[in-house]
Amino acid sequence: MAAETHPKNGNWTIASIREALAARRISARELASEFFARIAARNPELNAYLALSPERAYAQADRIDLAIANGESLPALAALPLAIKDVLSTRGVVTTCGSRMLENYRPPYDATAVERLEHAGAMVLGKTNCDEFAMGGSNENSAYGPVRNPVAPDRVPGGSSGGSAAAVAAGLAVAALGTDTGGSIRQPGSFCGIPGMMPTYGRVSRYGLIAFASSLDRIGPFAATVRDAAAVFSVIAGHDPLDSTCADMPVPDYVKALEQPVRGLRIGIPTDYFGAGLDPAVKEKIEAGIALLERLGCRRVPLSMPHTDYAVATYYLIATAEASSNLARYDGVRYGLRVPGSTLMDMYRKTRGRGFGPEVKRRIMLGTYALSAGYYDAYYLKAQKVRALIARDFAKAFEQADVIVTPTSPVPAFRLGERTHDPLAMYLADIYTVTGSLAGVPGISVPSGKTREGLPVGLQIFGPAFGEARMLQLAHAFERAGGAEV
């Protein structure tokens, strides 16, 4: 195979796949076989995939190869090896949400995002491991075992979309879909050293996404490059009549926008994100990343976002309350796991006791408490008011800056088991990501160097609502200028 087919890291990109297919250096079926061989070799160690869908992938590969043989034009993502987080519905393919509650569930339909990607030519390789019902920041809450970080297998890949991040970082997929509720795409992207993007709430249809917190959940891409993330995002973005929260707005050409110059862009740096709790090694790399952006001609603008300190508490009240409501449907009656009992209440108790893991039970209890009579005003309603204040912080910040730049995580990837017995420490690791989630704005994490231990650090870029084009433009310029090596 010609040397230009693969980039330096040995992984394929959308462009190199398209070039190789057009030149007949590889067929789509051969490409699918290559990736299933990679998965067979590496997945037993990483546990990134929970289920594979070779029949589906090879059927798509054969359609692509037939189109090439007939001289037809190729779709935008022709033969893209794609992984799907196991909270997104895939027709006929087991979709467990990382839980025993849905261990045998096979959806009768595809999520809109999955359907659009297949229509664009992508090959769905399989479903990736995740924290149970997307609840977790380390991917250690899966009922099917933790995922290991391919950069450092003794460490977590981040969560909840850790399986998707690990699959891309290890070269077991060229791109993957994850979901982000409070950082579940951006933090794994940071820990695994790849771009991970959360779109604006309402930009991508949530139809077919099995809900955790409906006002926060978003679907977004992982990829080895910002350009590939933009290409995948371009396909999944846009109005969907099946999702009432999906915005009916035109979709720009995000890939074309990447080439716009960044000189003169105002980058807002919130001082509130650089205080106590930020690991010195992470701070060093983020400051080096900001310095690189300044060398590219961007202008630093200091910001104050005073309600940042309340973000974690606000997020975990709202998210757990919505989880309590959404997960009430798993009762052993309609679908999913059913454990027989002597009475109806006994059946409920046994089903939910066996079907849900400790973290899901913890969040259901917290959310139910926050919504209960006598506590609703004191907790849930107050949290919604603070959420509005956090959104106002972002609105004011975007009056002064074009984008906001922060660390993605206060720490690099931590060791497996290090925080499992300290939920509060786990939750506090979300301090820099939950703010954008509560405000509804888009964010992306891009690699910004490594610590002395060789652990990746992520630089987070927020854009204003539906301002993904500018956010991606800056992320691409940072990547191209060597941001991963600062």
Q: How confident is the model at residue 3 (pLDDT cuts 50, 70, 90)?
A: very low
> What average pLDDT score do residues 225-249 get?
98
Sheet holding 49-52, edge to edge: 49-52, 123-128, 81-85, 175-180, 218-223, 196-198, 443-450, 456-462, 403-407, 266-270, 299-303
Q: How confident is the model at residue 297 (pLDDT cuts 50, 70, 90)?
A: very high
> What average pLDDT score do residues 285-289 get?
98
Catalytic residues: 85, 160, 184
Q: How confident is the model at residue 276 (pLDDT cuts 50, 70, 90)?
A: confident
pLDDT, one tens digit per residue, over 27-54 is: 999 999 999 999 999 999 999 999 999 9
Q: Pick from 233, 209, 217: which is nearest to 182 by CA?
A: 217
Distance set, CA 89 to CA 84, 97, 208, 325, 476 (Å)? 9, 9, 5, 20, 30
CB 138 within 8 A of CB 412: no
pLDDT, one tens digit per residue, over 455-470 is: 999 999 999 999 999 9
Is the pLDDT at 7 greater than 50? The verdict is no
Q: What is the dihedral of CA 136, 139, 145, 151, to 10 degrees?
A: -170
The separation between CA 353 and the C-alpha centre of its own chain, rounded to angstroms, equals 28
Sequence-separated (6 or more) residues with CB below 8 Å from residue 276: none
How confident is the model at residue 102, as a pLDDT? 97
Q: Pick from 404, 473, 465: which is nearest to 432 by CA?
A: 404
How confident is the model at residue 6, as a pLDDT? 44
How confident is the model at residue 334, as a pLDDT? 82
Distance set, CA 434 to CA 74, 132, 354, 427, 460 (Å)? 39, 19, 30, 10, 12
Rounded CA gap, 258 and 431, in Å? Answer: 29
Per-domain residue ranges of the chain: 3-257
How confident is the model at residue 10, as a pLDDT? 56
How confident is the model at residue 358, as a pLDDT? 96
Mean of pLDDT over the chain: 96
pLDDT, one tens digit per residue, over 179-217 is: 999 999 999 999 999 999 999 999 999 999 999 999 999
Sequence-separated (6 or more) residues with CB below 8 Å from residue 200: 218, 247, 440, 441, 442, 465, 466, 467, 468
Is the pLDDT at 234 greater than 90? The verdict is yes
pLDDT, one tens digit per residue, over 377-390 is: 999 999 999 999 99
Is the pLDDT at 273 greater than 60? The verdict is yes
> What average pLDDT score do residues 385-397 get?
98
How confident is the model at residue 5, as a pLDDT? 41
> What average pLDDT score do residues 94-101 get?
98
pTM of the model: 0.96
At the fourth CATH level, the homologous superfamily of domain 3-257 is Amidase signature (AS) domain (3.90.1300.10)
Kindly tell me the sign of the dihedral angle through the C-alpha atoms of 46, 49, 54, 60. Answer: negative
